[in-house]
C-alpha cells in the first residue's frame, strides 16, 4: 500500500471510530490505538501536503487563526416554531391539525426541545461543506471551521452509501452541563464573568473567532431536521433514523404517538426526566410525522403549521421573604441578598437568593413578609423573579429599601452612570474590599502565596499587620510567630512564601494587582504587549484598544486605575520589595500563546529536549504544566516509556497523547 492509500485508509477508519465513540457512545478501539492512528495520519499528512483534506479527522483541533465570519444566505429560510405554554394550547394546535387534514389519521413525532443554538449543516457527496448559524432566519454566519471541532458532527459520513448527493440537516449545538460547569469553575477562578446558562456558553463559544478555543470547550450537537431534494423517507421519523445510520447524533427521546393523551403523557414524563439528561432542554417539540401531511398543512409567515413547541415552566417556588442583607464584594459592588423560609428547588434546599440590584427591588415594590417566587434555571445562583401581590396579608412588614451607606464601612454608596450596580467607593479602607484584594493577591493564579489563606489574612488584618497587599512584604517574624498558635516553623514558611512570590512573572503580578476587568487572560495579553508596568501605565486608550482581546471596558478600567495616585504608590512599593514589574529577558524572547488555556502533563523520556526544557517551552507558549492527569488535562506530552499508571488513566479519561515531534511542530 502506498502512502496515499494509507492516508485514505486511516482517514476512513478514524471517521468510523469517531462516530462509534462520539455518536454511538460505543468505542471500538482503545484511546491509545485511536491516538496512534491519529498520529500516524498527522505524520503522513505532514509529508504529503498535496493530499490536504479540509475534512480530515486531523482537522478537528481547530486553529487560532482569527477570521471574520462570512454572512451567507440560507438555501431554505430557517423558520422558528410557535410556542405553547400549557396543555390547553397543545390541544388547540392538535385540533387545528385534525381540521387541516380533514379527519385523516396522523402520527405526531414527540421530541425534546434542546436549549442551545440552531445550526444548518450542508453535506455534498457525504462531506460536510458548510455550517451556518440561524442568524435572522434568512442569512446567518458561516461557522464551518468552528463546527468541525465538534466531534459528534461527522466530517465525512462513515456508513452506508444511500444518502443523497446534497442535503441539509439542522439541529442544535449545545454545551453539556458537565462542560458548562467546568468552564464556569475555570472562569470563576480567573475572575472572568460567568456564563449564565449553557445556551449562552454554547453561543459565545460558537461565535469565537478562534476555533482552537471552540475545540477545547467540548460542544455537542443533536440533529432534528433533514431537508433537501432526494431525502429518503416519507416521514420525519424515518428520515432521522436514516440520518442516524449515516452518522448523525439524534435525540434518543424521539417517540411516535397517535393520540393527544400520549402527547400529554410524553410532556409529563419528560418534564421530570429531563433533569437527568446531559444537556439543557427547555420544552418539547411536536411534529406531524408524514411529510405529505406536512406539505398539505403548510407554513405561516414565521413558522410551520405542522409543528409546535411546548415550553416547560422554569422551576419556580414560592416562599416568604424574611430579611434582605447587603454584601460587599472585592470591587465594592453591593449585592442584595434575600433571606427566605427554606424551600425545595431543583433538588436542593434554598434559603438565600439574589435580588440583583436597586432598580429590581424598587420595581417589585418588595416588602418583608412578601411571598416571593424563586427560580433556578440554567443559572447557578437562585434568584427572586417576582412577588405574589395577591398573597399579601396583614402581616406584611416594611418596604425593602436599598442601603444608602456601606453596611461595612458606613461610606455613602454611589451608582455610576449606565451601571445597574451600586458601589461602596471607599476602596482605600472598606474592610471587605481590602481583605478581598489581599485574598486575590495571594491566590493561586496570582502571586500563589499558598502558605497564607483567608483566615490568616483576616487575622492579620484584624491585628493591623496588613492593610494592603504590599504590607505583606513588610511583615516581620516577631509579628506573626505565636499568632493563632503558629509555631516558628509556620512563620518561616509564610515568610518564605511571601519572599518567593517576588519571582512570580510579571503577567501574574499584573493579574494580582486586581485592576477591575483585568482577569488572567487579559493580564497575560497586556503583559506580552506592553512588557512592563511602566509602558502599560503610559498607554493611551487608543493604544490599549489596539491590542487583540482588549475592549473599551478593560481599557477604560486600566486608565482609571493608573490615574489614582494610591495605585501608583502601591506599584512603587511592590517594586521596591522586588516584585516583578516587567517581563524577564527570557520571557521576552519567543513568547506565544499557541498553548494558551491548555493544561499539559509531561511524561516519559525525551530525545530532543530535557523535561525541564519542555516545561519551560510549555510556559513560554502560554500553556500550563500540571503534575497529574485529570479530566481537565488538555493533552499529555509523552516521550518514550510513559508510566503505565499514567497511560491507563489517560486512556480511561480519553486524553490525547502527543509525541515529542508533534509537540514541537505544534509550537513551531
Ligand atoms: S424543529 C421548522 N426540533 O427551537 C422546524 N427545533 O423555537 C424547525 N429546537 O429554531 C425546528 N429542539 O433552534 C426543532 N427537536 C427540535 C428542536 C428545535 C430545539 C430549537 C430550534 C428552533 C427553535 C424554535
CA of 113 to the centre of ligand 1 (A): 6
What pTM, to 2 d.p., does this model score? Answer: 0.57
CA–centroid distance, residue 379 to ligand 1 (Å): 22
The residue that leads in pLDDT, 648 or 63, is: 648
Nearest CA to 366 out of 376, 354, 375, 379 is that of 354
- Angle between the N-to-C axes of helices 644-653 and 31-47, in degrees from 0 to 180, rounded to the nearest 10: 90
CA 544–ligand 1 middle distance (angstroms): 42
Pocket residues for ligand 1 (CB within 6 Å)?
Answer: 79-81, 111, 113-114, 118, 172, 224-225, 285, 304, 307, 309
Ligand 1 nearest atom to the CA of residue 111, by list position? 15
pLDDT band at 74 (very low <50, low <70, confident <90, very high): very high
CB under 8 A, 24+ apart: contacts of 530-534: 531/582, 531/583, 531/588, 532/506, 532/581, 532/582, 532/583, 533/506, 533/509, 533/571, 533/575, 533/581, 533/582, 534/581, 534/582
- pLDDT band for position 547 (50/70/90)? confident
For 393-411, the pLDDT digits (tens) are 888 999 999 999 999 999 9
- Take residue 71 and report the three cell numbers written for it: 454572512
- The CATH number fitting domain 506-589, selected from 1.10.150.20, 3.40.309.10, 2.60.40.10, 3.40.1440.10: 1.10.150.20
User: Sorting pLDDT into bands at 50, 70 and 90, what band is 605?
Assistant: confident
Which of the listed residues 285, 306, 312 should we mutate to test ligand 1's pocket, taking the one with most ligand atoms within 8 A of CB?
A: 285
Contact 307, 285 (CB under 8 A): yes
Nearest CA residue ID for atom 6, ligand 1: 113
The pLDDT of residue 588 is above 80: no
How far is ligand 1, taken at its centre, from the CA of residue 279, in Å? Answer: 15
Residue nearest to atom 9 of ligand 1 (CA): 113
pLDDT greater than 80 at residue 191: no
- Note the pLDDT of residue 346: 62
Residue 549 confidence (pLDDT) above 80: no
Domain residue spans of the chain: 3-61, 83-311, 316-391, 431-503, 506-589, 592-667
Active-site residues: which are they?
113
Residue nearest ligand 1's atom 12 by CA: 113
Average pLDDT over residues 524-538: 93
Contact 627, 601 (CB under 8 A): yes
* 103 vs 106: CA distance, rounded Å: 9
pLDDT at 160: 66
pLDDT at 486 over 60: no
Choose the residue to mutate in 76, 78, 81 for probing ligand 1, maximizing ligand atoms within 8 Å of C-beta: 81
Question: How many Å lie between the centroid of ligand 1 and the Cα of residue 197?
Answer: 18
Question: Minimal CA–CA distance to 254: which of 265, 268, 240?
Answer: 240
Give the SS3 label for residue 295: helix
Distance of CA 196 to the CA centre of its chain: 9
In the chain, % of residues over pLDDT 90: 55
- pLDDT at residue 483 tops 60: no
CATH superfamily for domain 431-503:
5' to 3' exonuclease, C-terminal subdomain (1.10.150.20)
Instruction: Report the range of poorest mean pLDDT among 219-223, 289-293, 374-378.
Output: 374-378
The answer to whether 174 touches 503, Cβ cutoff 8 Å, is no
Atom of ligand 1 nearest to the CA of 112: 15
**Rounded mean pLDDT, 102-112:** 95
Asked whether the domain spanning 592-667 has the same topology as the one spanning 506-589, the reply is: no
Contact 217, 207 (CB under 8 A): no
Which atom number of ligand 1 is nearest to the Cα of residue 117? Answer: 13
* Neighbour count for residue 581 (Cβ, 10 Å): 17
Residue among 111, 224, 284 to mutate when testing ligand 1 (max atoms within 8 A of CB):
224
C-alpha cell of residue 623: 500553556
CB 573 within 8 A of CB 565: no
**What average pLDDT does the structure give for the chain?**
89
Cα–Cα distance for residue pair 485/561, rounded to 1 Å:
38
CATH of domain 3-61: 1.10.287.610
8 Å CB contact between 545 and 551: yes
Ligand 1 pocket test target in 113, 199, 220, 253 with most atoms within 8 Å of CB:
113
Cα angle at 55 between 67 and 77, to 5 degrees? 65
Is pLDDT at 621 greater than 70 in this prediction?
yes
Residue pointed to by grid coordinates 493604544: 543
Gap from CA of 225 to ligand 1 centroid (Å): 8
Taking residue 328's Cβ as centre, other Cβ atoms within 10 Å add up to 22
Centre of ligand 1 from the C-alpha of residue 316, in Å:
24
pLDDT at 488: 61
Q: Which residues pair with 334 in a beta bridge?
A: 328, 422
User: Which helix (H) or strand (E) segment is 285 a member of?
Assistant: strand 281-288
Q: Distances in Å between the alpha carbon of 331 and those of 325, 353, 422, 439?
A: 18, 20, 11, 12
Lowest mean pLDDT, pick from 229-233, 407-411, 435-439, 614-618: 614-618
Band (pLDDT 50/70/90 cuts) for residue 377 is: low
Tens of pLDDT, residue by residue over 335-350, are 999 999 998 776 567 8
- Average pLDDT (11-28) is 88
What is 83-311's CATH number?
Answer: 3.30.470.30
Helix (H) or strand (E) holding 5: helix 3-18
**How far is ligand 1, taken at its centre, from the CA of residue 120, in Å?**
11
- pLDDT of 152 strictly over 90: yes
Distance 130 CA to ligand 1 centre (A): 19
Collapse the DSSP code of 488 into the 3-class scheme (helix H, G, I; strand E, B; otherwise coil) and give the result.
Answer: helix
Compute the distance from residue 307 Cα to the ligand 1 centre, in Å. Answer: 9
- What is d(CA 285, CA 93) in angstroms, rounded to the nearest whole number? 12
Q: Whose CA is closest to atom 17 on ligand 1?
A: 113
Judge whether 377 and 368 are in contact, CB under 8 Å. Answer: no
Beta bridge partners of 172: 118, 222
Residue 197, C-alpha cell as written in the block:
446558562
Lowest mean pLDDT segment, chosen from 42-56, 408-422, 479-493: 479-493
For the stretch 325-334, pLDDT in tens is 999 988 899 9
Which ligand 1 atom is nearest residue 251's CA? Answer: 15
pLDDT in tens, 285-296: 999 999 999 999
Task: Tell me which residue has its CA closest to atom 16 in ligand 1.
Answer: 113
Rounded to the nearest angstrom, the distance between the alpha carbon of 281 and the centre of ligand 1 is: 11
Just give the CATH number of 592-667: 3.40.50.10190
Percent of the chain with pLDDT over 70: 95
Q: Provide the H-helix boundaries in 63-190.
A: 87-100, 144-147, 177-189
> For 655-664, what is each residue's pLDDT tens digit?
888 988 889 8
For 595-633, letters b (16+ CB in 10 Å) and e give: bbbbbbbbbbebeeeeeeebbebbbbbbbbbbeebeeeb
User: What is the C-alpha separation between 224 and 102, in angstroms, rounded?
Assistant: 27
**How is domain 316-391 classified at the architecture level of CATH?**
Beta Barrel (2.40)
* Ligand 1 closest atom vs CA 225: 1
pLDDT tens-place string over residues 139-150: 899 999 999 999
Residue 284 Cα to ligand 1 middle (Å):
9
Q: Which atom of ligand 1 is nearest to the CA of 83?
A: 7
The yes-or-no verdict on residue 575 having pLDDT over 90 is yes
Residue 108's contacts (CB-CB under 8 Å, 6 or more residues apart) are 94, 256, 257, 258, 263, 286, 287, 288, 289
Amino acid at each position: 500500500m502506498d502512502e496515499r492509500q494509507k492516508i485514505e485508509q486511516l482517514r476512513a477508519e478514524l471517521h468510523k471510530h469517531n462516530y462509534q465513540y462520539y455518536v454511538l457512545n460505543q468505542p471500538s478501539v482503545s484511546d491509545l490505538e485511536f491516538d496512534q492512528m491519529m498520529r500516524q495520519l498527522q505524520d503522513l499528512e505532514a509529508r504529503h501536503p498535496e493530499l490536504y483534506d479540509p475534512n480530515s479527522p486531523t482537522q478537528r483541533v481547530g486553529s487560532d487563526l482569527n477570521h471574520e465570519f462570512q454572512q451567507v444566505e440560507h438555501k431554505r429560510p430557517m423558520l422558528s416554531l410557535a410556542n405553547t405554554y400549557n396543555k390547553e394550547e397543545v390541544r388547540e394546535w392538535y385540533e387545528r391539525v385534525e381540521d387541516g387534514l380533514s379527519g385523516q389519521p396522523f402520527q405526531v413525532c414527540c421530541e425534546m426541545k434542546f436549549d442551545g443554538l440552531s445550526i444548518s449543516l450542508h453535506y455534498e457527496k457525504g462531506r460536510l461543506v458548510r455550517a451556518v448559524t440561524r442568524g435572522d432566519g434568512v442569512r446567518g454566519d458561516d461557522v464551518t471551521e468552528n463546527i468541525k471541532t465538534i466531534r459528534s458532527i461527522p466530517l465525512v459520513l462513515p456508513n452506508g452509501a444511500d444518502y443523497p448527493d446534497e442535503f441539509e440537516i439542522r439541529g442544535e449545538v449545545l454545551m453539556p452541563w458537565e462542560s458548562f460547569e467546568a468552564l464556569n469553575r475555570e472562569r470563576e477562578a480567573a475572575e472572568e464573568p460567568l456564563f449564565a446558562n449553557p445556551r449562552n456558553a454554547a453561543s459565545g463559544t460558537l461565535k469565537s473567532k478562534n476555533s482552537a478555543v471552540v475545540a477545547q470547550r467540548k460542544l455537542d450537537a443533536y440533529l432534528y431536521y433533514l431537508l433537501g431534494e432526494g431525502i429518503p423517507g416519507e416521514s420525519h421519523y424515518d428520515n432521522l433514523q436514516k440520518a442516524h445510520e449515516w452518522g448523525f447524533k439524534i435525540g434518543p427521546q424521539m417517540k411516535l404517538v397517535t393520540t393527544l393523551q400520549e402527547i400529554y403523557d410524553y410532556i409529563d414524563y419528560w418534564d421530570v426526566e429531563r433533569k437527568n439528561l446531559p444537556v439543557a432542554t427547555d420544552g418539547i417539540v411536536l411534529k406531524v410525522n408524514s411529510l405529505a401531511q406536512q406539505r398539505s398543512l403548510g407554513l405561516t409567515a414565521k413558522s410551520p403549521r405542522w409543528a409546535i413547541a411546548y415550553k416547560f415552566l422554569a422551576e419556580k417556588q414560592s416562599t416568604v421573604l424574611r430579611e434582605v442583607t447587603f454584601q460587599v464584594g472585592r470591587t465594592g459592588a453591593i449585592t442584595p441578598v434575600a433571606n427566605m423560609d427554606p424551600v425545595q428547588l431543583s433538588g436542593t434546599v434554598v434559603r438565600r437568593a439574589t435580588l440583583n440590584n436597586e432598580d429590581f427591588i424598587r420595581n417589585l415594590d418588595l416588602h418583608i413578609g412578601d411571598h416571593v417566587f424563586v427560580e433556578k434555571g440554567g443559572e447557578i445562583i437562585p434568584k427572586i423573579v417576582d412577588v405574589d401581590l395577591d398573597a399579601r396579608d396583614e402581616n406584611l412588614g416594611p418596604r425593602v429599601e436599598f442601603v444608602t451607606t456601606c453596611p461595612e464601612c458606613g461610606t455613602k454608596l454611589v451608582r455610576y452612570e449606565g451601571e445597574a450596580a451600586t458601589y461602596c467607593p471607599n476602596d482605600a479602607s472598606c474592610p471587605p474590599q481590602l481583605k478581598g484584594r489581599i485574598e486575590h493577591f495571594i491566590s493561586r493564579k496570582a502571586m500563589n502565596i499558598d502558605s497564607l489563606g483567608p483566615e490568616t489574612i483576616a487575622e492579620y488584618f484584624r491585628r493591623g499587620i496588613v492593610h494592603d497587599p504590599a504590607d505583606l512584604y513588610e511583615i516581620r517574624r516577631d509579628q506573626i510567630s505565636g499568632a493563632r498558635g503558629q509555631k516558628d516553623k509556620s512563620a518561616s514558611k509564610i515568610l518564605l512564601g511571601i519572599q518567593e512570590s517576588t519571582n512570580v512573572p510579571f503577567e501574574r503580578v499584573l493579574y494580582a494587582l486586581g485592576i477591575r476587568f483585568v482577569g488572567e487572560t487579559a493580564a497575560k495579553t497586556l503583559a506580552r504587549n506592553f512588557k512592563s508596568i511602566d509602558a502599560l501605565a503610559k498607554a493611551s486608550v487608543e493604544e490599549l484598544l489596539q491590542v487583540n482581546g482588549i475592549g473599551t471596558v478593560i481599557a477604560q478600567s486600566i486608565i482609571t486605575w493608573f490615574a489614582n495616585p494610591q495605585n501608583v504608590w502601591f506599584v512603587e512599593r511592590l517594586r521596591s520589595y522586588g516584585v516583578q514589574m516587567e517581563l524577564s529577558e527570557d520571557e521576552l524572547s519567543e513568547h506565544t500563546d499557541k498553548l494558551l488555556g491548555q493544561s499539559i502533563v509531561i511524561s516519559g523520556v525525551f530525545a530532543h529536549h530535557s523535561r525541564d526544557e519542555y516545561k519551560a517551552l510549555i510556559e513560554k507558549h502560554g500553556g500550563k504544566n500540571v503534575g497529574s492527569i485529570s479530566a481537565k488535562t488538555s493533552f499529555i506530552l509523552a516521550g518514550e516509556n510513559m508510566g503505565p499508571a499514567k497511560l491507563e488513566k489517560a486512556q480511561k479519561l480519553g486524553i490525547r497523547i502527543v509525541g515529542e515531534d508533534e509537540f514541537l511542530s505544534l509550537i513551531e
